A = this chain, B = another copy of it.
Amino acid sequence: MMSDEQANWPQEQCFASFKHCLPVCRESVYSQFFEAFREDIKVKRESAAVKNLKIIFDATFELASKGGFDAMSLRDLSQSTGISMGGLYNYISSKDMLAQMVNDFLSQRLAPLAYSLNLESGSPRQRLATRLRIYIYMGSLFRPWYRFVYMESKSMARQQRDQAKQFDLIDTAKLKELIEEGVAAGEMHCSNSELTASALLALIQDWYLKSWKYKQNETSTDDYANFLVSLMDKLLADNDQQTHDQTGYNDHSGKNNQ
């Protein structure tokens, strides 16, 4: 299946095409991970290191996903991985550092890699759609990483916690900027770009936070990405009917109390 050349992202807007163009995959990620943290990892032989890093971090995602990172003890991790306590400490310098490595690798290596694929050409609408798709596709490829950083950033050091909020604000601002470009170009219509951007980001995050739900109702990655893009189009379409109050009850569009 999908054996023909599909490496023509972002013209071909689907998951398969994106995967072909991304210079990293689920299988190769721990080689890059090892490279990024060479200095912190005591084990020097790459073959053993990459193998065990995969075992350790995959098990961490698994254990942290039920009960949270705090509730996972290193003895649990030792048992799940089959690596002794001493062995684990050849790969991590502390439990906190383990969490920080996930956070740093995702935010400094994986994510930038993907966003660089959002070519700066095309209309605002194209670039916005492409960006939304990148978020969703990356979420599918590295779901455990994204979910871990989202859920566990609060238990990390002050610096990482603030960083997590910063990334949220930056992502929102980037979406907002694209929306406002589209509005300026007359291609989109939006009365509140800030809230619209926030909403799009929330729906992106829902994709990797509620994966159990989307797996259950058999929503594929492309299904969700297509849905999100079409939702974006509806939100930013020109709705001629003004303050319509469609079927009764008041509207209350002004800023009220609280």
Task: Please tell me the number of chain A residues within 8 Å of chain B, measured between CB atoms.
Answer: 71
Q: A255 in the interface, Cβ–Cβ < 8 Å?
A: yes
In the bound complex, do residue A253 and residue B226 qualify as a contact, i.e. CB atoms below 8 Å apart? yes
Complex Cα–Cα for A239 and B202 (A): 24
From known contacts A129-B249, A206-B199, infer whether A237 and B239 are also in contact, taking CB-CB under 8 Å.
yes
Question: How long is the Cα–Cα vector from A214 to B202 in the complex, in angstroms?
Answer: 13
Of A30-38, A54-62, A83-91, A118-126, which stretch is located at the interface? A118-126
Q: Is A48 an interface residue (CB 8 A)?
A: no
Find A222's partner among B67, B235, B258 (CB 8 Å cutoff). B258
Q: Give the complex CA separation of A143 and B114 in angstroms.
A: 35
User: Is the beta-carbon distance between B68 and A155 smaller than 8 angstroms?
Assistant: yes
Nearest opposing residue in chain B for A228, CB measure:
B199
| Shortest distance between the CB of A123 and any CB in chain B (Å) | 5
The residue on B at minimum CB distance from A223 is: B255
A80 CB–B CB distance under 8 Å: no
A 162-191 to B, binary, CB cutoff 8 A, 1 in contact else 0: 000100110010000000000000010000
Given the interface pairs A220-B257, A256-B16, A256-B220, the reply to whether A198 lies near B202 with Cβ below 8 Å is: no
B residues in contact with A70, CB < 8 Å: 68, 70-71, 155
Q: How far is the CA of A59 from the CA of B138 in the complex (A)?
A: 38
9 sampled A-B residue pairs with Cβ under 8 A? A10-B249, A123-B247, A198-B206, A220-B255, A220-B257, A222-B257, A223-B255, A226-B251, A226-B253
